[in-house]
Structure 1
Amino acid sequence: MIHRSLEDIIKKNLFLGKAIIVLGPRQVGKSTLFHQINKLFESHSIFLDCDNIDIKSALSNANITQLKRILGNNDVIFIDEAQRVKNIGLTLKIIIDQIKPKQLFVSGSSSFELTNEINEPLTGRKFEYLMLPLSLKELSDYLGFLEERRNLEYRLIYGTYPDVINNFGNEVEILNNLANSYLFKDIFNIHRFKNPEIIEMLLESLALQVGSEVSYNELAQTIGSNSHTVKKYIQILERAFIIFKLRSFSKNARNEIKKSRKIYFYDNGIRNAILGNFSLINNRTDIGSLWENFVISERIKYLNNNKIYAKKYFWRTKQKQEIDYIEEFNGQLNAFEIKWNPNKKVKISKTFTSNYPDATTHIINRENIWDYVGV
């Protein structure tokens, strides 16, 4: 079994009087992680999978008497896919306030309903974590560095979902199933879209624009909608952990772009499945976009798995000078240029280094990426 970095973080925070909340896209291993942790407590724990209709129904609008019947004498409680339960926030509040288990674990595949429902009842009483597809660090620890280095081009095409890693040869089928069903299950269950085709066209447009700045107005024209709907749908996709957004970085220099954004996918395989393009690296014209998406998503996993709470941006001037990716943490700027070819000469913008002389600059390519992801 592939060891997940989040397991170590969670184990350090058990029995501190706070619920453990794990959010993340479907099929990234949240249930597997909970089952692994549950091995420590199986004699006095209960595991409730809310994808099961009877469990979902029993926990919806439950009262104290019903919850005591369900939970019995178990003092360690796992509630998996909690966003499926109506009024889950109230249920969790009753469990914490009145049943008072030694430890409560809750997972969710979207932050739509779950975050809104649990924020108030669990204010100050939860540790919240994000679980993403497998990182290069986790894969290198599992397969060995040399093997994972050989797999790098494969990862750019098929991504790092656990099911993809564990089923060599069936990647395309798995990713198509993920992209067309599992990932969007909660989106379509919770949001009754009048025209689901709009969100599919939006995803295709976003996949094609990875690495480029995104205009809501232009997207709206492309998909035959309006900018308000585009903005709303992008927020929904973010909360489903399918995409993430980088804002432009500026400290008010006159020539810097101040209100722009780029949008990336948490997983390359999902991005390629949306486009229906699993061509090998040598046959692609989008290697720059693929590599940029991959590196930035890996940096986000690295920060997440090491509890480094950096702000993340890109930078560009009106004269088209740019920095692909910036992290700001504790007043320190790290600026990254991202290039697939290690032999390509790369110059960091002199305007940027002049504006931010204390920033540390880096160039990430396919040879040295390991230095930047904790391997």
Structure 2
Amino acid sequence: MESRLRTSAAVLLLGPRQVGKTTLARHVVDELSSRATYLDLERPADQRRLADADAYLRARGPSLTVLDEVHRVPDLFAVLRGVIDENRRQGFRNGQFLLLGSASLDLMRLSSESLAGRVSHIDLAGVAVDEAASAGIEPETVWVRGGFPDSLTAPDDATSQTWREDLIRSYLERDIPMFAPRVPAESLRRLWTMLAHNSGGLLNASRLASGLGVSSPTVDRYVDLLSDLYLVRRLRPFHPNVGKRVTKSPKVHVRDSGLLHALLGLESLDDVLGHPSAGPSWESFVVEQVIMGAGPAYQPHHYRTATGDEVDLVLVRGGRPHVAIEVKRASDATVGAGFRRAIADLGVRNAFVVRPDVGGEAHTLGPGVTSIGVTELVSRLRGP
């Protein structure tokens, strides 16, 4: 983030609530001391400071201004453009604003419309398995509790579960009414829970609509909202030019495994392992961890043919697939014929069967396919 601030006039830091955006921003403010100001746009006092936002922000001069919960004041983006351009004319080009928000779609649209060429975007996800390992936290704990820092570092599973249940309630009672006032919170919770039961499954809007008693377009709108809030991920299919019929439906993953388990009432590792959704949960967990490790240079997709040949995660760069991932819960995982045919379709040279870390060191399962623990793969993708 500090690197982006050195090269961009504004940085927009996006991610779910309670993931650590404010903590990170306050660290930057503390580092810069008197040359930075932090405003929380949920606080009435800070809202009053921006009653005449143009005058207040212009008076700040050559210093960083952090605007937390910026999605609450969408009209501010038009003001920021004028302030940024005036500061640039005065020789203060970069590191002017750090903007924090919890809803991606509207903020991306507003920033693209008003701050084109002036803003850099960063998505902040939860704690990754390699980061947790450096703090002595086992990957199974990250899987069960998820990547929200307060959930992950809770003193016991029950406290962690309560924290996640409170976060879910906060989303339903506070965020949903703000971002989508016409969406019934209970309907959204039911959909969220249905997606948790089959996380990583192909999106079947008509089946979900039947279960909810709503229309398919309504389900699509609800899934879009959950995606916009960083709660689920639409993993779109990759379409190579191989002359095969390929599934066109996206997969939908619940992004944080801890929230997935809280939605299903699963508190401990034993609870998770004994539940029918353990396999889908593990797949979603690994997919999110690998995407975090790969970073924004790669676009994530899935691949599935009409005959069932499948790759759980394809990492694409420059329009070409570079990495293929098959997720297995068994530590002694093997490679199926469908996965081999799928990676041949994709022309991928780097294929991995990702399993729990207890399966030992990475080893070859055949030409171009490596069995590897999730923590080791994330570390490899992240690089030095």
Whether these two folds match at TM > 0.5 is yes
Identity of aligned residues (%): 24
Q: Distance in 1 between matches of 2:262 and 2:250?
A: 23
Match of 2:289 in 1: 298
TM-score (norm 1): 0.87
Matched position secondary structure for 1:174: helix
Which residue of 355, 380, 383 corresponds with 1:365?
355
Which residue of 139, 163, 168 corresponds with 2:155?
168
Match of 1:337 in 2: 326
Match of 1:262 in 2: 251
Match of 1:109 in 2: 102
Matched position secondary structure for 1:325: strand
Q: Distance in 1 between matches of 2:183 and 2:230?
A: 22
Match of 1:351 in 2: 341
CA displacement at 1:314 relative to structure 2: 1.6
* Structure 1 contact 82–106 (Cα < 8 Å) conserved: yes
Q: Distance in 1 between matches of 2:198 and 2:6?
A: 45
* Structure 2 contact 129–289 (Cα < 8 Å) conserved: yes
Pairing 1:186–2:175 present: yes
CA displacement at 1:99 relative to structure 2: 5.0
Match of 1:31 in 2: 22
Q: Distance in 2 between matches of 1:326 and 1:72?
A: 46
Match of 1:139 in 2: 132
Equivalent position amino acid for 2:145 in 1: Y
Q: Distance in 1 between matches of 2:172 and 2:149?
A: 14
Cα distance change, pair 223–75 in 1 and its aligned pair in 2 (3 A)? same
* Structure 1 contact 56–84 (Cα < 8 Å) conserved: no
Pairing 1:217–2:203 present: no
- Structure 1 unmatched runs, 5+: 1-9
Match of 2:226 in 1: 237
Match of 1:6 in 2: none
CA displacement at 1:112 relative to structure 2: 4.0
CA displacement at 1:184 relative to structure 2: 6.4
Q: Distance in 1 between matches of 2:235 and 2:244?
A: 19
Cα distance change, pair 332–254 in 1 and its aligned pair in 2 (3 A)? closer
* Structure 1 contact 48–55 (Cα < 8 Å) conserved: yes
Equivalent position amino acid for 1:98 in 2: E
Equivalent position amino acid for 1:138 in 2: E
Match of 2:72 in 1: 84
* Structure 2 contact 301–315 (Cα < 8 Å) conserved: yes
Matched position secondary structure for 2:330: coil
Equivalent position amino acid for 1:231 in 2: D
State the number of aligned residues. Answer: 354
Matched position secondary structure for 1:185: helix
Which residue of 122, 127, 144 corresponds with 1:129?
122
Match of 1:48 in 2: 39
Equivalent position amino acid for 2:31 in 1: L
Q: Distance in 1 between matches of 2:70 and 2:273?
A: 43
CA displacement at 1:373 relative to structure 2: 0.6
Equivalent position amino acid for 1:75 in 2: S
Equivalent position amino acid for 2:115 in 1: L
Pairing 1:274–2:267 present: no
Q: Distance in 2 between matches of 1:203 and 1:127?
A: 31
Q: Distance in 1 between matches of 2:6 and 2:326?
A: 42
CA displacement at 1:88 relative to structure 2: 2.1
Cα-to-partner distance string for 1:131-171 (whole Å, 9 max, x where unaligned): 01111122223x1xxx33xx222222211211112322210
Match of 2:316 in 1: 328
Which residue of 133, 140, 156 corresponds with 2:143?
156
Q: Distance in 1 between matches of 2:243 and 2:222?
A: 32
Equivalent position amino acid for 1:351 in 2: R
Q: Distance in 2 between matches of 1:112 and 1:54?
A: 27
Equivalent position amino acid for 1:154 in 2: T
Q: Distance in 1 between matches of 2:64 and 2:183?
A: 41
Equivalent position amino acid for 1:133 in 2: G
Pairing 1:65–2:73 present: no
TM-score (norm 2): 0.85
* Structure 1 contact 57–85 (Cα < 8 Å) conserved: no
Match of 1:4 in 2: none
Equivalent position amino acid for 1:30 in 2: K
Q: Distance in 2 between matches of 1:242 and 1:251?
A: 28
Q: Distance in 2 between matches of 1:28 and 1:213?
A: 27
Cα distance change, pair 65–354 in 1 and its aligned pair in 2 (3 A)? closer
Q: Distance in 2 between matches of 1:107 and 1:163?
A: 19
* Structure 1 contact 89–118 (Cα < 8 Å) conserved: yes
CA displacement at 1:194 relative to structure 2: 4.9
Higher relative contact order (CA 8 A, sep 6+): 1
Cα distance change, pair 14–357 in 1 and its aligned pair in 2 (3 A)? closer
CA displacement at 1:57 relative to structure 2: 4.7
RMSD (Å) for aligned C-alpha atoms: 2.2
Q: Distance in 2 between matches of 1:252 and 1:226?
A: 34
Bigger Cα displacement from structure 2, 192-201 vs 40-49 = 192-201
* Structure 2 contact 16–230 (Cα < 8 Å) conserved: yes
